[in-house]
Amino acid sequence: MACALLAVSGVATLIATFSIANGTLVLPWQLTKSGMPGNLDMSLVQRAVNLGRDIGLVYFFGWLAPLAALSLRACPRPWVAGAGAAAATALALGIVNGEPGISRSLFNILGPLLTLAGALTLTRMLPTSSSLP
C-alpha cells in the first residue's frame, strides 16, 4: 500500500511540476514527446557530424586525450576496456538518439581514466628532484 501511495504521489508531483511550468495540464504520456530533440529528423551520418562539431568534446578531450594516450598502457587493462566499452555505448546511443550534449556523459565515463593517465604522463615528463625541501 505504501508503494502504491508513493507511486501516485510521485506521478502527481510530476504532473503538477510540469503543468505549472508550462501553464497547461501536462500528462505523463505527453512528457515523452516534449523532450525529443529537434535533430531526430537528420540521418545518422548527419547526427554523427553534429557530435563531431560539439565544442565540449574538443574542450574536454582535445588536450586531455593526447596527454593521456602516452600513459594509457600503464592503467589497469580492465578499467581501460570497461571505460572504452561504456564510452562507445554512450557515443552510439548519443548518435542514435540525436543527443547534442554527449560530451558530458563521455567525460563522466572517460574523465577519471584520462586524468590518471595524464597525471602519469606529466609525472614522467617533469623533472624530479632527489631531495625534498
CA atoms of 66 and 64, how far apart (whole Å): 6
Do 77 and 115 fall within a single domain?
Answer: yes
Host domain of residue 12: 1-35
Do 43 and 103 fall within a single domain?
Answer: yes
CA 68 to chain CA mean position, Å: 19
pLDDT tens per residue across span 26-39: 887 776 665 555 55
Report the predicted TM-score, pTM, of the whole model to 2 decimal places.
Answer: 0.63
Using alpha carbons only, what angle is made at residue 106 by residues 102 and 107, rounded to the nearest 5 degrees?
115
Residue 131, domain member (yes or no): no
Do 16 and 55 fall within a single domain?
Answer: no
Number of domains in the chain: 2
pLDDT tens per residue across span 59-107: 778 888 899 999 999 999 999 999 999 999 998 888 877 777 788 889 9
> How does residue 23 score in pLDDT terms, banded at 50, 70 and 90?
confident
